[in-house]
Amino acid sequence: MFWEFPEFIYIPLGDWIDAFVKWLTVEGEGFFDGLSKILLAPMLFTERILLWLPWFVIILLFALAAWRLRGWKISLGVISGLMFIGLIGLWDLSMKTLAIVIASTFLAILVGIPLGILMAKNDRVKSIIHPILDMMQTMPSFVYLIPALMLFGLGKVPALLSTFIYAVPPVMRLTNLGIRQVPEDVIEASKAFGATSWQLLRKVQFTLAMPTIMTGVNQTIMMALAMVVIASMIGSGGLGTEVLNGISRLDVGRGFNGGISIVILAIIIDRLTQGLGQTPEGQSGTDA
Residue extents of the structural domains in the chain: 13-283
Min mean pLDDT across 41-55, 105-119, 136-150 is at 136-150
CATH code of 13-283, in short, is 1.10.3720.10
* Per-residue pLDDT reduced to its tens digit, 1-20: 566 766 777 787 778 888 88
pLDDT at 13: 77
Q: Which of 260, 235, 251 is nearest to 90 (CA)?
A: 260
Ranked by mean pLDDT, the top range of 28-37, 41-50, 182-191 is 41-50
* Per-residue pLDDT reduced to its tens digit, 204-220: 888 888 888 888 888 88
Compute the average pLDDT of residues 161-168. 85
Distance of CA 222 to the CA centre of its chain: 7
Residue 280 has pLDDT above 90, yes or no: no
Residue 184 has pLDDT above 50, yes or no: yes
Cβ burial, residue 241 (10 Å; 0-12/13-18/19+): buried
Q: Answer for the pair 219, 277: CB distance below 8 angstroms, yes or no.
A: no
Compute the average pLDDT of residues 194-211. 83
CA distance 106 to 112: 10
CA distance 211 to 279: 7
pLDDT at 281: 46
Residue 279 has pLDDT above 70, yes or no: no
pTM: 0.81
* Per-residue pLDDT reduced to its tens digit, 88-111: 888 988 898 888 888 888 898 999
Position 282 confidence tier, pLDDT thresholds 50, 70, 90: very low
Residues 6+ apart with CB under 8 A from 68: 275
Strand residues in 15-160 grouped as ranges (E): none
Position 64 confidence tier, pLDDT thresholds 50, 70, 90: very high
Q: Answer for the pair 234, 159: CB distance below 8 angstroms, yes or no.
A: yes
Residue 284 has pLDDT above 50, yes or no: no
Min mean pLDDT across 18-22, 102-106, 151-155, 158-162 is at 151-155
Compute the average pLDDT of residues 251-277. 83
Any idea what DSSP says for residue 104? Answer: H
Residue 69 has pLDDT above 90, yes or no: no
The continuous run of DSSP H or E covering 222 comes out as helix 206-226
Position 60 confidence tier, pLDDT thresholds 50, 70, 90: very high
